[in-house]
Amino acid sequence: MQSDNHNDIIDRDDAVISIRGLYKSFGALDVLKGIDLDLHKGENVAVLGRSGTGKSVLIKILVGLLMPDAGKVNVLGQEVDKLKGKELDALRLKIGFSFQNSALYDSMDVRRNLEFPLRMNFKSLTKKEIDKAVEEVLDAVGLLDKINQLPSDLSGGQKKRIGIARTLILKPEIMLYDEPTSGLDPITSVEINDLINDVQRRYHTSSIIITHDLTCAKVTANRVAILLDGAFLKVGTFADVFATKEERIQSFFNYNFIT
Amino acid sequence: MGTGSKKFLLSKGLDNYFIGVYNAYKFIGRFFKEAFKSPFHFREIINQCFEIGLKALPLITLTGFITGIVFTKQSRPSLETFGATSWLPSLISIAILRALASLVTALICSGKVGSSIGAELGSMRVTEQIDAMEVSAINPFKFLVTTRVLATTITVPILALYCGFVALLGSFVNINAHEATSFISFFEHGFDTITFLDIFTSVTKSIFFGFTIGIVGCYKGYNASSGTVGVGRAANQAVVLSMFLVFIEEVVIVQVSNWIRLY
Ligand SMILES: Nc1ncnc2c1ncn2[C@@H]1O[C@H](COP(=O)(O)OP(=O)(O)OP(=O)(O)O)[C@@H](O)[C@H]1O
Ligand SMILES: [Mg+2]
pLDDT of A6 > 50? The answer is no
Asked if residues A29 and A51 have their Cβ atoms less than 8 Å apart, the reply is no
Band of residue A42 on the pLDDT scale cut at 50, 70, 90: confident
Task: Between A246 and B261, name the one with better pLDDT.
Answer: B261
Asked if residues A130 and A119 have their Cβ atoms less than 8 Å apart, the reply is yes
Residues of B in contact with A166 (CB under 8 A): 132, 136
Q: Work out the average pLDDT over A77-106.
A: 90
Q: Work out the average pLDDT over A54-71.
A: 91
| A159 in contact with chain B, both atoms CB, cutoff 8 A | no
Residue B150 neighbours by CB under 8 Å, 6+ apart: B35, B45, B48, B214
Distance to chain A for B125, nearest Cα, Å: 10
CA-based R_g, chain A, Å: 18
Give the per-residue pLDDT at A5.
42
Give the per-residue pLDDT at B38.
83
**CB A92 to CB B135 under 8 A?**
yes
Do strands A231-236 and A223-228 pair parallel, antiparallel, or not at all (unpaired)?
Answer: antiparallel
- Residue % of chain A over a pLDDT of 90: 31
Of A89, A164, A174, which to mutate for an interface test with B (greatest number of B Cβ within 10 Å)? Answer: A89
Report DSSP state, residue A30: E
B122 in helix, strand or coil? helix
| A177 in contact with chain B, both atoms CB, cutoff 8 A | no
Q: Which domains does chain A have, with CATH numbers?
A: 15-258 (3.40.50.300)
Instruction: Confirm or reject: Cβ of A54 under 6 Å from ligand 1.
Output: yes
HSE-up of B237 (CA within 13 Å, CB side)? 17
Mean pLDDT for chain A overall = 85
Asked if residues A30 and A226 have their Cβ atoms less than 8 Å apart, the reply is no
Q: Work out the average pLDDT over A124-137.
A: 90
Range A25-59 burial, b when 16+ CB lie within 10 A, else e: eeeeeebbeebebbbbebbbbbbbbeeebbbbbbb
pLDDT of A53 > 90? The answer is no
Residue B26 neighbours by CB under 8 Å, 6+ apart: none
Give the per-residue pLDDT at A8.
42
Phi, psi of A72 (to 5 degrees): -105, 130
Asked if residues B130 and B222 have their Cβ atoms less than 8 Å apart, the reply is yes
Residues of A in contact with B138 (CB under 8 A): 116-117, 120-121
Give the per-residue pLDDT at B6.
60
Give the per-residue pLDDT at B211.
96
Residue pLDDT, tens place only, A162-188: 998 999 899 899 999 998 888 888 888
Task: Decide: pTM greater than 0.90.
Answer: no
| A106 in contact with chain B, both atoms CB, cutoff 8 A | yes
Q: Where are the domains of chain B?
A: 40-262
Band of residue A3 on the pLDDT scale cut at 50, 70, 90: very low
Task: Between A212 and B112, name the one with better pLDDT.
Answer: B112
Query: Which residues of chain B, if any, have pLDDT below 50?
Result: 1-5
Give the per-residue pLDDT at A206.
92
